[in-house]
Structure 1
Amino acid sequence: MAEMEDRWLSISEICTHLGVSNDTVYKWIDKHDMPAHRMGRLWKFKKDEVDEWVKAGGAAETLQRNPDRE
């Protein structure tokens, strides 16, 4: 049973798990170093790696500071 829990997830499965769109996941891969592995032309994900990345704040948007407002 543990083997099934440790399988590679597809883009649609990770989107469902996180509750976000495909576009969001592709943006996170490109701009926020989301842990993803390219297999041919497909992206695959390990749920545990993605969960740790989210917990560490990987999906948080970088806030731009406005020096005039400080």
Structure 2
Amino acid sequence: MTQLMDIEELAAYLKLEKQTIYNWLHEKKISGIKIGHVWRFDKGAIDRWLKAQTVNATPHNSRKRSSSRRTKRSRNSAIT
């Protein structure tokens, strides 16, 4: 069964301001269903959208760089 959320419920679910949800609707970042004067959002569709937005925050190459930076800092602090 489809679970529909209104703007307030979606904002609480995503821990965002309601205005952000309205902005995303206007920018067509998310889609919803307007029933009368009330926007409704399919929770399953929102969850799929969230999953599609997920990116790997620490790519493999950046980990190598950050560890070498720490090594340089450690060497510099040992010199001074």
Q: TM-score, normalised by structure 1?
A: 0.67
Tell me what 1:50 maps to.
46
Structure 1: gaps spanning 5 or more residues: 58-70
Structure 2: gaps spanning 5 or more residues: 54-80
Matched positions, count: 54
Identity of aligned residues (%): 26
Q: Residue 4 of structure 2: SS of its match in structure 1?
A: coil
- The structure with the greater share of residues assigned to strand is 2
Q: Residue 45 of structure 1: SS of its match in structure 2?
A: strand
Q: Which has the larger radius of gyration?
A: 2
Alignment-mate amino acid for residue 48 of structure 1: G
Deviating 4+ runs (over 3 angstroms): none
Report the RMSD for the aligned CA atoms in angstroms: 1.8
Question: How far apart are residue 33 of structure 1 and its match?
Answer: 3.1
- The structure with the greater share of residues assigned to helix is 2
